[in-house]
A = this chain, B = another copy of it.
Amino acid sequence: MVELEGRRRQILRVVIDDYIMTAEPVGSEAARQRHGLDISSATVRNEMAALEELGYLQQPHHSAGRVPTDHGYRVYVDSLVTEERVPPTERLRIRRTLTATEFDQAVEQAARALAVITECASVATTPQLPQQVVRHLHLIPLGPRHAIAVIVTDAEVVEGKTVEFEQPITATECDRLSQEISRRIAGRPLIDLTDGELATVIGQAAHHQRVLDQIGRLLRERFRRLPGRVRTEGQANILKQPEFQDARRAQPVLSALEQAEAVTALLGDGSASREVRVRIGSENVLDELRDCTVVTATYHVAGRAAGAIGVVGPTRMRYGRVIGLVRFLAESLGDTLEQL
């Protein structure tokens, strides 16, 4: 990408800044006046025409003001805007709302805070089970032939399912079995246990084959749930944005946000990078989100990427602020989870 020269650069910034605030096409005179440019409107017009030529701006119709293109926003985000550091008082206020004592609840609170502050929709995944380290697998006897299998991970997430025995089993045997299996799989992240390996590890525990099969399946099922559950908050905020006043525009966006798989994909590609990712308009794979920008970040627990949190709003978004907030909330959420 060609670097933009000083004044042209500044004008692009001014136009986008103005449009983000007003949601109205920006004219040459308006841009000049409202941002104290020391050049004539004619010059501004010339530069704007050039910026349009370059694909950064466009006109909704002839003889209207200019509006940024996705391309323009991209340049803006990459090199024109500076991330706003969240001010201390706001930090404090946000941190105060993160009071949860449970994983899922903490994620919910962080997502909600993000939605409220940005006035956009927010999305987040709960920590991914497969990345968590197994601490223990316990069989709680229910009757002579049934037990509940409980997995305890380092994140203390507990998942349980019934297993059925081929033949009656005593509580003591049940206990021994628990310990044997635990010993074999404890201390490793679930994700490291491949299907084949799992079969071997479990298979060696010999008798009570049926139970072991079931536990194997149970573990494998958890794999499939890889990205954790997904939460969406503040969907209704989309309707506050002027560009989504028409329900027919808003409807596809909200529909997309309701589909867990779609949202997962948004947050997905879970690269462990600590950078904030910004996907603008058509950069999103989802066609329904072609008028939206998605800003996401990964949160980390114990040094490992645990999940992601982000914001979905109109492409006309206060990027500096939102990026700062997403980064801060990802960090805060990580910290909060760390302490649990």
Which residues from chain A sit less than 8 Å from chain B, CB to CB? 102, 135-136, 138, 140, 142, 148, 150, 152, 156-162, 175, 233-236, 239-240, 244-248, 250-251, 254-255, 257-258
Q: List residues of chain B with CB within 8 A of the CB of A240.
A: 247, 251
**Listed A/B pairs (27) with beta-carbon separation below 8 Å:** A102-B161, A135-B142, A136-B142, A138-B138, A138-B140, A140-B152, A148-B156, A148-B158, A150-B160, A152-B160, A156-B160, A156-B161, A156-B162, A158-B160, A175-B175, A233-B258, A236-B251, A236-B254, A236-B255, A236-B257, A236-B258, A239-B254, A240-B251, A245-B247, A245-B248, A250-B250, A254-B254
Q: Complex formed: what's the CA distance from A255 to B238 in Å?
A: 11
Contact among B159, B236, B250 for A158, CB-based, below 8 A? B159
Q: Complex formed: what's the CA distance from A10 to B136 in Å?
A: 67
Q: Are A239 and B247 in contact (CB under 8 A)?
A: yes
Q: Are B250 and A235 in contact (CB under 8 A)?
A: no
Interface of A is mostly: mixed
State the number of copies, please.
Answer: 2
Q: List residues of chain B with CB within 8 A of the CB of A235.
A: 235, 254, 258
- Closest partner residue, chain B, to A179 (CB atom): B171
Q: List residues of chain B with CB within 8 A of the CB of A234.
A: 258
Contact among B135, B136, B247 for A250, CB-based, below 8 A? B247
- Closest partner residue, chain B, to A260 (CB atom): B108
Q: Are A150 and B142 in contact (CB under 8 A)?
A: no
- Closest partner residue, chain B, to A240 (CB atom): B251
Task: Pick the 4 closest A-B CB pairs, nearest first.
Answer: A158-B160, A236-B254, A239-B251, A239-B247
Q: Complex formed: what's the CA distance from A244 to B136 in Å?
A: 51
Q: Are A150 and B158 in contact (CB under 8 A)?
A: yes
Q: List residues of chain B with CB within 8 A of the CB of A160.
A: 150, 152, 156-158
With both chains docked as a complex, state the minimum distance between the C-beta of A256 and any C-beta of chain B, in angstroms.
8
Q: List residues of chain B with CB within 8 A of the CB of A245.
A: 246-248
Q: List residues of chain B with CB within 8 A of the CB of A239.
A: 247-248, 250-251, 254
With both chains docked as a complex, state the minimum distance between the C-beta of A61 and any C-beta of chain B, in angstroms.
23
- Closest partner residue, chain B, to A249 (CB atom): B247
Q: Complex formed: what's the CA distance from A251 to B254 in Å?
A: 12
Q: Complex formed: what's the CA distance from A253 to B280 in Å?
A: 29
With both chains docked as a complex, state the minimum distance between the C-beta of A324 and any C-beta of chain B, in angstroms.
25
Q: Complex formed: what's the CA distance from A135 to B255 in Å?
A: 40
Q: List residues of chain B with CB within 8 A of the CB of A162.
A: 156
Q: List residues of chain B with CB within 8 A of the CB of A135.
A: 142
Q: Which of A157, A240, A257, A258 has the most CB of B within 10 A?
A: A258
With both chains docked as a complex, state the minimum distance between the C-beta of A246 and any C-beta of chain B, in angstroms.
7
Q: Complex formed: what's the CA distance from A235 to B251 in Å?
A: 9
Q: List residues of chain B with CB within 8 A of the CB of A142.
A: 135-136, 152
Q: List residues of chain B with CB within 8 A of the CB of A258.
A: 233-236
Q: List residues of chain B with CB within 8 A of the CB of A158.
A: 148, 150, 158-160
- Closest partner residue, chain B, to A246 (CB atom): B247
Q: Complex formed: what's the CA distance from A236 to B244 in Å?
A: 13
Q: Are A140 and B148 in contact (CB under 8 A)?
A: no
With both chains docked as a complex, state the minimum distance between the C-beta of A52 and any C-beta of chain B, in angstroms.
30
**If A251-B239, A258-B236 touch, does A150 touch B140 (CB 8 Å cutoff)?**
yes
